[in-house]
Each structure stands twice: as structure tokens, then as C-alpha cells.
Amino acid sequence: MPKTKSIKAEEVIGLVPDELLDRLTIETRVDYSVQKLHGKTVFKLFLYAFLNSKTISLRILEAIYKSEKFKNLFNIPNGAIKHSGVGMRLAKINYQYFENIFIHLIRSPKLDAILFAGKKILASKIDSTIVILSIKLRVIRPYRSESGHG
């Protein structure tokens, strides 16, 4: 059985060119009056954490941001952020910035090539909506009495 190639966060993040992120930053005004944690960095940080961590928390995001690997991969300038700063930024960031990035990704033929080109994808994260829908869609057998009637 051939070994399944894992998908790296850098591959998925690389599907969104910096030029697009810069253009969307201007269009959505996502960085209006922001000093440290710009939209481009938040996007890369969140997606990197989502694809590389089993769970995501503000403290995990803070630790990833501080790591040399993350800073070197995405040319993040040196500077410190705290988990509370990440939380405040996520709470106030314009969702349309991420929506436009998502639209770009789902329209990208490169995404299909990276994710589905003969590869099995093992998902470890399950959305609660999927669980609820699967429960509701489950076929429930009608109750039958021991006598076989009704």
C-alpha cells in the first residue's frame, strides 16, 4: 500500500498569492488602524495553525506566531504578540477578507490538484453540524413488538 503524502500548510497558504492578499486588504480595509497583526499575517497564522494543530486556542496561535519556523516561512517581522491581542484582532477583523480568500481558494484548480490528486485525506477535525446532521439522517427502524405485530 503506497504511503499517503501529507499536505503541508505552506502548500495551501501558497495558493493564495500575496498580491491577492494585499489587494483584498485594501478592498476590505482589513488593516485600517492596525499596527501589529495585519490581515495577511492573521490569515497565514490561522490557516497554519488549523492545518498543523489538533486543537486551536489563542495560546496556540500565540506560540505559533512566536516560533522561528512560522516567522521564517512567511517572512513575519520580529515582534511580540500576546494571546489576548490575537483574540481582540480576531474579534474585530472584517470577515469579508476571509470570505474573499475562501472564494479564491475554491475556484483555484491548484487546490484540487493539491488536495485530491489521487490522495486520501484523513480528517481529524469534525464539525458539530456534520455530527448533528448524520444523527438526524440515520434511519430509525420502526418498533416491532415481540409478537411480530405493529
Cell reading at 5: 503524502
Residue 141 confidence (pLDDT): 43
- Give the list of residues 6+ apart from residue 57 with CB closer than 8 angstroms, or none: 83
**How does pLDDT run across 124-148, given as a tens digit for each residue?**
555 555 555 555 555 444 444 455 5
Domain ranges of the chain: 9-119
**How does pLDDT run across 14-44, given as a tens digit for each residue?**
888 899 999 999 999 998 888 888 899 999 9
Contact 105, 56 (CB under 8 A): no
